Amino acid sequence: MKSPHHAHDKKTELKQLVQTLPNLPGVYKMLDKSGGILYVGKAKSLKSRVGSYFAKTIEHAKTQALVQRIDNIEIIITRSETEALLLEQNLIKNHKPPYNIILRDDKSYLYIYISTDKYPRLSYGRGKGNHVQGRFFGPYPSAHSAKEALLLMQRLFMLRSCSNSFFAQAVRPCLEYQIKRCKAPCVNLVSQEQYQDDVAAALSFLQGNAADMQQLLVEKMEAAANELNFEQAAFYRDRLSMISNLQAKQAVFRLQGEADVFAIAAQAGMAVVHILTVRGGQVLGGKNYFVDDVNLDNKTISERLAEFLLSFYFQVSDDLPSEIISSVELEHTKTLSDLLYEQFAKRTTFKHRVSTHRDDWLNIAKLNADNALAAKLKDSEELQARFFALEQILTPVSNRVLHRIECFDISHTMGEAAIGSCVVFDRGGVRKRDYRQYAIHDITAGDDYAAMRQVLTRRYSKQPLPDLLLIDGGKGQLGIAKEVLVELGKLDDTLLVGVAKGEGRKAGLEVLHFIHHEPLDLPADNKALHLIMQIRDEAHRFAITAHRKKRDKKRAGSVLEVIPNLGPKRRRDLLNHFGGITQLIGASQEEIAHVKGIGKTLAATIYKALHT
């Protein structure tokens, strides 16, 4: 560990650096000793803002941890606060500094789309990427709500959802046709004109014109009944019922409006933002985000929400609504509007005093934020108790305050398809966006020590070390980890602990191994042990999931290569037809036989090879 004298010199050096900073707006980057960016911030006055980090009154634990790791500070002066905000968000998006507001679930939202093909496809995807041309509807914050809406649309309008390659090679109707979720345009069981009518009806429905759709279905149902085509009349009746059920669910929301509604709740140093997404007058869903920042104690609730809002639109959303409704009044909305215009090339209106249906939306968002915070505080109490217990039992070994823990595990089957996993926990719980998987190459099959050496070297030659590094294994794996850190010159940057199974390799009997101390055997009811087991089990789950996926793909691919009469072209045609090896494994023998150039005999051989 660093000597107190060295730490004192560095702090003095940084304070002297602060004195040379200008009283101008700009962006500052806090760097660790390897030059990695720890934190990016913006300021009206760089000198004043950066200097506040070295005040004696700082109590926020995460801020203290940040200051301890700062080795250098770089600044970029800007002409205005707007420029500083824009630069700050771009740097955060590109570098993902560990101490900035990082959205733990930063997946882009789902959209339902209708493509522009001759026979348009109804499907969903994340973001409005260039992978498909068409009309997009959403965004849906919840994958469940998007998939539920898509399923309803398929049952209502029976548009195809298959990939273009599957559509082009189909020779008979698939299961979707049998269960009445597609009219099988792939084999001409519906005319192009009738299919386009269904597409037009789907577009109209997605745009909120349910009343027109209902009237059309009523007319078709009555016409079918008059012609004594009762089966067709029942079909239209069922579609009318689906629409009525959907409207009943959303009756209170059948209004015009397009907005993202932000409600923030804060307590005990924790803050949560609930975002309710409204498009075409319909509430498409909501999502909770827990604000994770080093400066929560020094900011007003309005400042917290404003900074989160920018992070959300720069990191997650690719859709800006015409209105942003917030539970608190936001300052500098003109600056926020300018920044969002730079990102989306469109203007939005900020509101915090609303009435009628907008007030209903805001109240729903507030209710969800309050409930999420209450649940998180309850979970957080247990998590903090576990962290505190772990710090206490590790005190004889190290006095480190634990803010970040990383754990490694190796998974393989008799040496095949080896995968190394790294999972990350901090005081807020799991940090899934920081998880990593490492495919292991060029080692002797089954050599776990070589696998661990390779994974640790690849990670920590580029990444900073956590406060606590857990290795799933006993003295042998711990020795390998020590050798790697010594070679990298980073042994003193972390506390290294091996987690080994105890007597009988039973869960709950784990033993902790250290480099310079005797092993520690914790009682089964110890909260520190519960935290270690939670992290270790998550690392194992993450590794074995990736390993099985890699192993199964490799095995299936290898099986295809040794099947007689199945050359490269036929293998490629098979995979293109089904969209991948996973889909091929799930196909029936009859479906495989319908692929061009395969036939019944070869299909039987392929099916048997894939399933034995």
DSSP 201-250: HHHHHHTT-HHHHHHHHHHHHHHHHHTT-HHHHHHHHHHHHHHHHHHHHT
> Where residue 456 falls among pLDDT bands split at 50, 70, 90?
very high
pLDDT tens-digit map of 586-612: 778 888 888 878 888 888 888 887 776
Contact 172, 187 (CB under 8 A): yes
Looking up tokens 């576990």 gives 386
> Where residue 546 falls among pLDDT bands split at 50, 70, 90?
low
pLDDT of residue 253: 39
pLDDT of 506 strictly over 80: no
Structure-derived torsion over alpha carbons of residues 195, 199, 202, 207, reported in degrees to the nearest 10: -160
pLDDT of 312 strictly over 50: yes
How big is the CA angle at 297 (ends 399 and 401), to the nearest 5 degrees?
A: 10
Q: 3-state secondary structure string, 141-174?
A: CCHHHHHHHHHHHHHHHCCCCCCHHHHHHCCCCC
pLDDT of residue 557: 53
Element (H or E) spanning 397, and its range?
Answer: none
CA-to-CA separations, 399 to 73, 172, 371, in angstroms, rounded: 27, 69, 36
pLDDT of residue 366: 92
Which of the residue ranges 46-50, 129-133, 271-275, 366-370 would you say has the lowest mean pLDDT? 129-133
Contact 51, 30 (CB under 8 A): no
pLDDT tens-digit map of 53-75: 887 666 666 777 788 889 899 99
Looking up tokens 């959907």 gives 246
Which positions ≥6 away from 75 have C-beta within 8 Å? 21, 26, 27, 28, 29, 46, 50
Maximum mean pLDDT: which of 352-366, 538-552, 578-592? 352-366
User: Which amino acid is located at 270 in the chain?
Assistant: M
pLDDT tens-digit map of 431-449: 888 888 888 887 776 688 8
Q: pTM of whole model > 0.75?
A: no
Higher pLDDT, 551 or 230: 230
% of the chain at pLDDT higher than 90:
17
pLDDT of residue 598: 87
pLDDT of residue 323: 94
pLDDT of residue 514: 92
- Residue 258 phi/psi, 5-degree rounding, is -140, 115
- Residue 372 phi/psi, 5-degree rounding, is -65, -40
Q: How far apart are CA 143 and CA 126, in angstroms?
A: 10
- Which residue in 298, 262, 299 sits closest to 278, CA to CA? 262
Which of the residue ranges 137-141, 169-173, 329-333, 396-400 would you say has the lowest mean pLDDT? 137-141
| Average confidence (pLDDT) over 119-125 | 86
Mean pLDDT of the chain: 81
Element (H or E) spanning 372, and its range?
Answer: helix 356-394
- Which residue in 4, 29, 33 sits closest to 493, CA to CA? 33
Q: How far apart are CA 403 and CA 294, in angstroms?
A: 12
Structure tokens at 507: 């869960």
Contact 273, 305 (CB under 8 A): yes
Contact 334, 113 (CB under 8 A): no
Q: Is the peptide bond between 139 and the residue preceding it cis, with omega within 30 degrees of 0?
A: yes
pLDDT tens-digit map of 70-94: 989 999 999 887 788 888 888 887 8
Half-sphere exposure of 56 (CA within 13 A, CB side): 0
Beta strands (DSSP E) in 44-177 are 72-77, 110-115, 122-126, 134-140
> Where residue 1 falls among pLDDT bands split at 50, 70, 90?
very low
| Average confidence (pLDDT) over 298-314 | 85
pLDDT tens-digit map of 239-270: 776 666 555 444 333 456 789 999 999 876 67
Contact 100, 92 (CB under 8 A): yes
What is the separation of C-alpha 331 from the centre of its chain, rounded to a whole number of angstroms? 29
| Average confidence (pLDDT) over 503-515 | 69
Contact 338, 82 (CB under 8 A): yes
Q: How many CB atoms lie within 10 A of CB 38?
A: 23
Q: How many CB atoms lie within 10 A of CB 601?
A: 10
Contact 50, 43 (CB under 8 A): yes
> Where residue 575 falls among pLDDT bands split at 50, 70, 90?
confident
pLDDT of residue 249: 44
| Average confidence (pLDDT) over 553-574 | 70
- DSSP assignment of 277-290 equals EEETTEEEEEEEEE
pLDDT of residue 56: 65
pLDDT of 102 strictly over 60: no
